[in-house]
Chains A and B, each alone.
Chain A
Amino acid sequence: MIGLPFVYSLAGLAFLAFAVLSLRDASNPKRWGNGAFWGLLALSMLAGDRLGDFANGLLVLALVAIAGTGQLGRGSGGTSAGVRSERAAHHGNRLFLLALVIPATALAGTFGFEHVPGLVNPKQVTLVSLSLGALLALAIGLAWLRPHPAAPLQEGRRLMDSVGWAAILPQMLASLGAVFALAGVGNVVGQLMSSVIPDDSLIGAVIAFTLGMALFTMIMGNAFAAFPVMAAAIAVPVLIRQYGGDPAVVCAIGMLAGFCGTLMTPMAANFNVVPAALLELKDRNVVVRAQVGTALPLLAVNTLLIWWFAF
């Protein structure tokens, strides 16, 4: 069955190409750093399962050492704005069709592979379809635009270098969450939260739950990590068992209160920090600031929704 191993191999090959092209990029004064960084990531994708836990840990430390000591740089070059405008005028709106091949394939694959049981692992069908979409778009692009065969990888490498270390921050934070779980951080926070709930105040308990979800999500960067902690500390014992709240309403909307926290923290790096890097924004917190104005009113709405509908 096609599943994550296929996707990881493909990603590994892409990172390997980025590494080799980085090493050959004479315009980048720190090309050795870039080459080593993307090379280690390629190793992780291609052979991570065979390295063992400790070696994987050392690999992470090496990645952090490279990024933390400022060994990642960017080269110059790329296609000039003039040439891009000229090509844009020449190719016209068909460029959009090619851009839509990736989402269209992801869409078709997600639904289509359902009807071919045993071919693609159903749990990983979207990631597999996304990868196939990228391959298909690449093939069509090469046939239609007829660039130098290495051009896509070279352009991809250029984008990758502009993202830099932020590329692995989401994965790093997810890993930190696992260490937090191992150390029992969630239990301690849960005990703290259950000691601050006001007695005999339903709205007080609801606010403690939604605010707790948002705050703990902001710390962990992920509502998935916050939910079991806050639900075990407040939602189940107080809101559901003591006050008789509807568990479906309390939990479903409580999770969404956590999502409001995700909008307000740099810890949710893949949503908040990576786009700042990808869009080449000067301030890496500008996306978080743009979201606060939506997240706070919505947190209040979620609190009221639980209060109204669960009891």
Chain B
Amino acid sequence: MWVLSGIAVMVLGFVLRFNPLLVVVAAAAVTGLAAGLDLHAIVSAFGKAFNDTRYVSVVWIVLPVIGLLEAHGLQERARALIAGLKGATTGRLLTGYLVIRQLSSALGLTSVAGHAQTVRPLVAPMAEAAAERQKDLSEDEREQVKAMSAATDNIGLFFGEDIFIAIGSILLMVGFLEQQGIVLTPFQLSVWAIPTAIAAFLVHGFRLWRLDRRLAAKEPFQ
């Protein structure tokens, strides 16, 4: 039971708003000590895992290109393009992006879009420009439109990628089930990601439609 104390540290640390990096290290130390590991072993285990997961941080290599483009007006251009399009609304724009993100993820193309690659330079400024045409935005509403852009990217990715047969989570399930004596092909699993993908499009699309309604009615949103 004591090994769960690390989870308590995580929750408490996030609630009390300590620096998350400190919270993670504290949780690792507490968990390791509760499991009877010494400090040297905990530091080594953490170091090994950190080294093995470096691919998570590779995405930052796109920043020089994004920075160069932004210095040459990419965000301004994205805003101007949307401002000149008749009928472009935040909801329609993000719904379109949702479809593209779900379809491309379903083809296994999970890294072609993302927060650094597409949301910050293109999607968020476009959504913001469309919202500005619909309504005068308060500071909070501007944040919400940007947050919704990031949310749409995540939802498109999560509920598209499992339709692809060679994605990590599908392979994980195939491997796990094989150990349990249940043999399935990746395709048998990935086909069952389709109903949820459709539901995700309907639920999130409905929320985006409601966002448009509130923008059009010039109501403040929560």
Contacts and interface: CB of A to CB of B under 8 A. Distances in A.
A20 B66 CA distance: 19
Interface residues of B, number: 114
Contact of B46 (A179, A263, A276): A179
Contact of A55 (B4, B47, B67): B47
Interface string B44-76: 111111111111111111111111111111111
Given A279-B119, A282-B143, A291-B155, A188 B1 contact: yes
A89 B55 contact: no
A227 B169 contact: yes
B151 interface: yes
Contacts of A263: 151, 154-155, 158
A171 B73 contact: no
Contact of B66 (A57, A159, A273): A159
B32 interface: yes
A270 B44 CA distance: 24
A139 B155 CA distance: 33
Contacts of A81: 76
Contacts of B120: 275, 278-279
Contacts of B67: 152, 154-159
A113 interface: no
Contact of B14 (A7, A127, A266): A266
Contacts of A154: 67
Interface in B157-181: 157-159, 162, 168-170, 172-173, 176-177, 180
Interface residues of A, number: 141
B57 A171 contact: yes
Contacts of B207: 293-294
B186 to A, nearest CB: 10
A75 B168 CA distance: 39
Interface stretch (B109-117, B130-138, B212-220): B109-117
A73 interface: no
B63 to A, nearest CB: 4
A134 B74 CA distance: 16
B7 interface: yes
Contacts of A160: 60, 63
Interface stretch (A28-36, A194-202, A249-257): A249-257
A49 B51 contact: yes
A110 B104 CA distance: 12
Contacts of B65: 98, 102, 134, 137-138, 141, 152, 156
Q: Counting chain B CB atoms within 10 Å of each CB, which of A84, A160, A227 scores highest?
A: A84
Contacts, number: 414
Contacts of A98: 65, 69
Contacts of B103: none
Contacts of B70: 79, 84, 155, 159
B109 A169 contact: no
Nearest to A251: B173
Given A64-B25, A281-B143, A85 B57 contact: no
A54 B40 contact: yes
A289 B116 CA distance: 20
Contact of B34 (A151, A183, A298): A183
Q: Counting chain A CB atoms within 10 Å of each CB, which of B51, B62, B76, B169 scores highest?
A: B51
Contact of B108 (A86, A110, A141): A110
Given A182-B32, A263-B154, A294 B68 contact: no
Contacts of B200: 294, 298
B68 A188 contact: no
B54 A45 contact: yes
Contact of A4 (B7, B55, B122, B188): B55
10 contacts: A10-B61, A68-B22, A79-B70, A84-B75, A102-B117, A127-B58, A176-B28, A247-B184, A262-B154, A279-B150
Interface of A: 4, 7-8, 10-11, 14-15, 41, 44-45, 48-49, 51-61, 63-64, 67-68, 78-79, 81, 84-93, 95-96, 98-99, 102-103, 106-107, 110, 124, 126-127, 130-131, 134, 137-138, 141, 145, 147, 151-160, 163, 165-180, 182-185, 188-189, 219, 223-224, 227-228, 231-232, 236, 240, 247-249, 251-253, 255-256, 259, 262-263, 266-267, 269-276, 278-279, 281-283, 286-287, 289-291, 293-294, 297-298, 301-302, 305, 309
